[in-house]
Structure 1
Amino acid sequence: MNDVTVKIIVKSPPAVIWNIWSDFPHAPLWDTDVRHCELDGPFQAGTLGKCVLKNGLRMPLRLEAVEFQESYRNSARLLWMDLEFDHRLRRLSPSETQVIHTARIAGPLSFLYRRLIRKALTAAMTTALDNLATLAERRANTSGTPASEKPESHLHLV
Structure 2
Amino acid sequence: MNDVYVQVIVKSPPPIIWKIWSNFAESPLWDTDVRHCELNGPFQPGTQGKCVLNNGLEMPLKLESVLPQESYRNSAKLLWMNLEFDHRLRRLSPNETQVIHSAKISGPLSFLYRGLMRKALTVAMTTALNNLKALAELRADAARTPEGDHAETHLHLV
1:110 aligns with 2:117: no
Which residue in the other structure is 1:155 paired with? none
Which letter does structure 1 place at the counterpart of 2:156? E
Matches within 5 A, 1:134-153: 134-142=134-142, 143=148, 144-150=151-157
On the 8 A contact 2:77/2:83 being kept in 1, the answer is yes
Q: What whole-Å deviation, never above 9, does each CA across 1:61-102 have from its counterpart, x for those lacking one?
A: 000000000000000000000000000000000000000000
- 1:146 Cα offset (Å): 3.2
CA contact (8 A) 1:2 1:114 kept: no
Q: Distance in 2 between matches of 1:2 and 1:63?
A: 18
TM-score if structure 1 supplies the norm length?
Answer: 0.92
Q: Distance in 2 between matches of 1:147 and 1:58?
A: 29
Alignment of 1:36-51 (within 5 A): 36-51=36-51
Unaligned runs of 5+ in 2: 143-147
Whether the 8 Å CA contact 2:24–2:39 is kept in 1: the answer is yes
Instruction: Name the CA distance, whole Å, in 1 between partners of 2:94 and 2:51.
Output: 32
Give the share of equivalent positions with the same residue, in percent.
72
Contact 1:139 1:145 in 2 (8 A): no
Q: Partners in 2 of 1:125 and 1:145 — Cα distance?
A: 27
Question: Aligned letter for 1:124?
Answer: A
What is the match of residue 125 of structure 2?
125
Larger Rg: 2
Aligned position for 2:145: none
Runs of 4+ in 1 over 6 A off after TM superposition: none
**Cα gap change, 1:99/1:115 in structure 2, threshold over 3 Å: closer, same or farther?**
same
1:2 CA drift (Å): 5.4
The SS at the match of 2:130 is helix
Superposition pairs for residues 7-86 of structure 1, below 5 Å? 7-86=7-86
Q: How many residues align?
A: 151
Structure 1: 5+ residue runs without aligned partners? 152-158
Relative to total residues, which structure has the larger helix share, 1 or 2? 2
Q: State the structure with bigger RCO (CA 8 A, min sep 6), 1 or 2.
A: 1
Measure, in 2, the Cα distance between the counterparts of 1:147 and 1:48: 31
Mapped contact 1:16–1:139 kept (Cα < 8 A): yes
Kept in 2: contact 1:8–1:129 (CA 8 A): yes
Q: 3-state DSSP class of the match of 1:108? A: coil
- Cα deviation digits, residues 90-139 of structure 1 (max 9, x gap): 00000000000000000010000000000000000000000000000000
